[in-house]
Amino acid sequence: MTNEPRLGVPEPFNGQPSGAVVFSIIGSPEVRSTFSTETVKLGGFYFLRLRTNNNAEFNTKKRSIYAFDVQAVFQSQKIGDRPPIKLSNQTHIVIRVIDRNDNCPFFSQDTFHWTVFENATLFTRIGTVSATDADTGISGQIYFVLQPERTIVPFRIDARSGDVFPTKSLAIKRGKSSHIEQTTYLSMYEGLEDYSFRVIARHRGNLSHVPCEFVIHAQVNIRIQAVRSSGPKINSVLFSDIPKPGAPGTAYASIKVTSPSDPQNIQLTIIETEAMAIFELVRVGFQPEWLLRLKAQYPLLSLNSRIGVTLKAVDTEYASVENIPSTSQDFLDVALLPWPMFRIHLPREIKVSVSEVALVNSTIFIINPKLDYYIHNSSFLFSQLEKNEELPFEITKTGAVVVTKSVDLETLRTNLVEVPFTVVDQNNILLSSLADSKLVINIIDYNEHDPVISNSVAERSIPESLPVGSEVLQIEAYDPDFSATRLSFSLFDEDKLPFIFSTTKPGSLILKTRLDAETMPAEFHIKVKVSDSGLPFPRSAIVIYVIRIIDVNEFSPVFVEKSCSAQLAVTSHGQIQILAPSGLELGSFFAEDLDRDGSSTVQIRLASTTVTRPCFKIDPVSGRLLLICSNIGPPGTTVSVYLEATDGNRTSEQPFELKINLVQADYGHVFSKSCQPSNIYEKVQEQKQKRTDYEHLISNSTSIDSFFKRFDVESAPSLSIPPTIKIPENLPIGTPILHFGARFVDPLKPDRVHRLVYGVEAQKTLMATGAMMTPPYQAFCLRGKSTSDVDTDEEMTLEVAAPIDREAFSAFLLSIQVCVLQESLGPCVTSNLTIHIEDLPDEPPKFVMENKNAHTFSVSENDLEGSFIGQMFAEDGDAESKLRFSLRNFKDTFRIHHRTGRISLKKKLDRELVDSYLLTVKVRDVLDLPPLASPSHLHALALNATPDWALVRTATTYVRVNVLDTNDNRPEFIATYDNLVVPADLPEGAYVTTLRARDADSGHNAVLQYSLFGGEADKMCFDCELTTGVVRIAPDCGGLRPGHVYSLTAWVCDLGTPDPLQTSSPFKVTVVDLRVNVWPPRFDAPNGLYEGKLLEGVPIGSKVMQIGGGQPLRVSASDPEDLPIVFRADGGSGLGIFTVSDDGKSC
């Protein structure tokens, strides 16, 4: 310590009264034994003088600070009787012991091991070496430098802090990339995985006489850890289950990028411009996951639609770090129509009905497979799985079902014909997509055969007593046609006959009215018409049956005379005078039977007489009655003879009585009689008349032609069809395009039935290329009952039955035929029809690429305005088009010829401003389509059936224009180096600064080299590393001169071609003398307190003003050693809100 007074107390009471001040140390005995106090009065001030005791020993290693209190006691002299005045006060004293530089620095460890990621930048501290010096102050401060011979390693060390920084990229050399070597000047000490070098620690202050060369070294081993062996990993998963292939928004793949970086640092892009026009990448959430989706409807979807998509993932965290993989690519071969999704849909069975009289070569049906989505080149090919020459049907290659020969159900013996087939898209052949189905054809029977009657030759005999409703005859008949339709039976002149057909039992002839053999013919010859119920009209057959009426004995015989009264002359003795040997004939007595067959069988017999003896005899057949007795009684008596008639079953209900009155014989008649008639003959005559009338009624029958009609052969009908019609493409299936019908020239006879059958045949199909398609493509069918049920004079409709695309077909030639159906297929007439297909603008234009890089061009930034860059090509699938190109962006930089698609420069380019342009090129079909000749309603239907995306007449793609670099930019220093300050004791090899510059060019044009130039005396003190710009104190300097300003020029030069460009900047280093800097600076304001004010709401950067003044608030301080002072905000509630300039002149 110095003996100069430093502190003390003023004399109290200005010396009135006077006294003395005694200073004493209050503290530990160690302090009192080290320091002592003295009092020195100078004027009116008592100074404290501190002294070290003779036996005191100071060592900063043991104790560097002494802190204690000193008490000052003032005692005045005694004044009169008053006691002396005694005052005291104390203060705190801190004494720091200044160190002497007598110790060497020691590293905290002999070897430092660090592991550093290869992406460490020039500003990344990769580690810190630490050393200690037992000295204090400047003597305890240490400089760190690299061992001079190892300064070529890509590291620098901060001379003061010991922080180690890289000077170049630490990226590990991978493979044998010459690009890295050329760009970074890779030497044997770069691109390694392990580095080892030595660091020297040198102390400051007065150099000690103690030798330190053997203890001031430390080894540093740095292991470089690869950030990654490759760029971000792209994991792509192509979807196989695509619900709507080709539709906008459809996702085809999921992409996940894995990287140790923050997911937000990962960028994923599509490289190919053509793929960019088709696909978009949609990020999923905040993770590095994306979906690859279609931007719009893809119009060229097919099984072979594949687009190569190259994905590029960039880890932006490493993108600017040279030589570390920060990008990766993954190629996706995207099938826009994945094979598992390609399915042709057909029902397992397709049911079709057709008439047996379907015309040969006519198309009866068209099979239309379905797809879940639009495929632009779909073309179905059909094949029958089994060939059966017996079948009259064939499925053509295009799916039309055609009648190949006459259909005969009776030969086929089945009305259901199954034709198994398969279909494949011949332009998108995939075995797994084959659709198997079978065509089930229901053949509707044509009634071509008359009914067959098995018992056509039959006679029946029935009794007249047969009850009404009884079966008279059962007709055995059937329909020989395949359909075997129900038969109906009808009687000719049914109203005149006592018969009728049963309504419950087909073919059963029953009795309608009661029979009467006496008044009806003995037999009936009935005509029966047996009709089937086949289509298109029933067929009939006539059969004649003989039905005989058997007479039933329903009447008893009736005598012609009811009774007779006779007189017989006898003698008085009762003797008959004249009696022949055979007897006396009394007469013939007849009886009639009203039964038809009864009269021939009636016999007369003697019922009884009043004579007890058998005196009468009668012939049963003739009815002659004989008296065979000669004496039957005296005169005056009466003899009665009773006769009865019988037909074998029945006996006359009233006997005949012959009353014989015996009279006396005279000379008159021997026998006479008189009879009373019974009127039986009138009844017999009445019956005969009725029979005659009935027979007459039957004989007057209706003409058989009215009962059994036959068809007359007619002439062919007239078919009026226009020879040519026009329809638009894309009409929906089922759209009617023509209505027509055949008519007969001559009026139809009222009693005639005429039926027509129609058919359509595909004759020729003209393709869009002008060639004929074989076999022809059938796209039309007839609709109407005639194609199935065969209706009469039906108006037919020709309708679209298959897809029609003008880009595939331009015209169809059809043959329409109509035939008359009578008892067989009658006269026919044929008319040809040509259908022209009109084009709709349903094919959007598309860009044509000769190769995958066709839309990527390069242009030098030195190319002049008007220079040709590249050409775009496009085409339109419509029959006619007029394509025009246009740019949608960068119109002020590029132009495109609207017709040729040639892209050229509109102005010169500057790669340093924009190194790549992504042009949006649009092509539009501007052709004004002429009005369609087809009906407007068909045009509207076709447009409505065409997808909206197909009617778009534009297409858009992207063109990448890369600007090639020219060395047209000089490198520029990032900072200035004309005010560098270094201490004079900075050792050789110590780091001074790093020259840093940038070049707006790219590639070799941006590779920079640094150097320092100047006077030899100044230049020899500084080394500049060529490739890094690191400046160190040169070994040959011999020490920096305090106070000297070293003036050099820093140069930076690129390696551009053809001529390198360079830039210089002043490089000045001021060397300041070494100062111990023991004393801290002190603020000038009392207690270091400054006050200021600031208006609320002022903008950032506004200055704080003094209170009570209009000047900015300033802070000031002084350093006892006159060292430069730097101000900074170090705490308080305003930290982060307020700041102070380095010089303290503004807050």
Show the domains of the chain with their CATH numbers.
8-96 (2.60.40), 105-171+188-225 (2.60.40.60), 233-335 (2.60.40.60), 348-444 (2.60.40.60), 458-550 (2.60.40.60), 561-677 (2.60.40.60), 718-838 (2.60.40.60), 846-926 (2.60.40.60), 972-1072 (2.60.40.60)
pLDDT score, position 264: 84
Q: Which pLDDT belongs to residue 794?
A: 64
- Name the β-bridge partners of 941: none
d(CA 80, CA 476): 182
Q: 339 by DSSP, 3-state: which?
A: helix
Which residues on neighbouring strands pair with residue 574, listed in sequence order? none
What is the reported pLDDT for 1046?
Answer: 95
Structure-token match 């309708």, residue found: 799
Q: What is the largest CA-CA distance in the chain?
A: 249
Task: In whole angstroms, give the CA distance from residue 336 to residue 299.
Answer: 11
Instruction: Please tell me the predicted confidence (pLDDT) of residue 182.
Output: 44
DSSP 780: E
The rounded distance, in Å, linking the Cα atoms of 840 and 859 is: 41
Taking the C-alpha atoms of residue 1067 and residue 977, their distance in angstroms, rounded to an integer, is: 5
1077: left (phi over 0), alpha (psi -120 to 50) or beta: left
In the numeric block, which tokens belong to residue 181?
Answer: 């070597």
Under a CB-based contact definition with an 8 Å cutoff, are residues 971 and 138 in contact? no
Low-confidence residues in the chain, pLDDT < 50: 1-5, 176-184, 786-793
Instruction: Report the distance separating Cα 469 and Cα 463, nearest Å.
Output: 13
Q: Give the separation between CA 607 and CA 977, rounded to whole angstroms.
A: 180
Q: Confirm if 1111 and 1147 have CB atoms less than 8 A apart.
A: no
The pLDDT score that the predictor gives to residue 17 is 86
- Residue 702: per-residue pLDDT: 61
Q: Encoding tokens for residue 858?
A: 């390069």
Q: Mark residue 279 as left, alpha or beta (left: phi above 0; alpha: psi -120 to 50; beta: remaining).
A: beta
Residue 79 confidence (pLDDT): 80
Question: What does the buried/exposed string (b/e) look like for 625-657 if buried means 16 or more CB atoms within 10 Å of the residue's CB?
Answer: bbbbbebbbebeeebebbbbbbbeebebeeebb
Beta-carbon contacts of residue 699 (< 8 Å; ≥ 6 apart): none
> The whole model's pTM is what?
0.64
954-964 vs 916-925, strand pairing mode: antiparallel
Torsion, Cα 903 908 914 915, to 10 degrees, reads: 70
By the 8 A CB rule, do 954 and 925 touch? yes
**Count of CA atoms in the C-beta half-sphere (13 A) of 654:** 13
- What pLDDT does 747 receive? 66
Residue 561 has, within 13 A of its CA and on its CB side, a CA count of 17
Its sign, for the CA torsion 662, 667, 670, 673, is negative
Dist CA 344 CA 383 (whole Å): 14
b vs e for 196-227, b when ≥16 Cβ sit within 10 Å of the residue's Cβ?
ebebbbbbbbeebeeebeeebebebebebeeb
Q: N- to C-terminal Cα distance for the chain? A: 40
Question: d(Cα 364, Cα 349) in Å, to the nearest integer?
Answer: 16
Q: How far apart are CA 288 and CA 174, in angstroms?
A: 27
Sign (positive or negative) of CA dihedral 126, 132, 137, 143: negative
Q: Which two tokens stand for residue 1025?
A: 């590393």
Nearby residues of 894 by Cβ (< 8 Å), 6 or more positions away: 869, 887, 903, 904, 905, 906, 917, 919, 961
Name residue 544's beta-bridge partners. Answer: 527
CB 811 within 8 A of CB 767: no
pLDDT at 880: 75
Q: What SS3 class is residue 945?
A: helix
Tokens 């009426």, located at residue: 549
Which residues neighbour 169 within 8 Å (Cβ) at sequence distance 6 or greater? Answer: 118, 154, 184, 321, 322, 323, 324
Closest CA to 1064 of 1014, 1030, 1022: 1014
Nearest 10 degrees: CA dihedral of 272, 274, 275, 280? Answer: 110
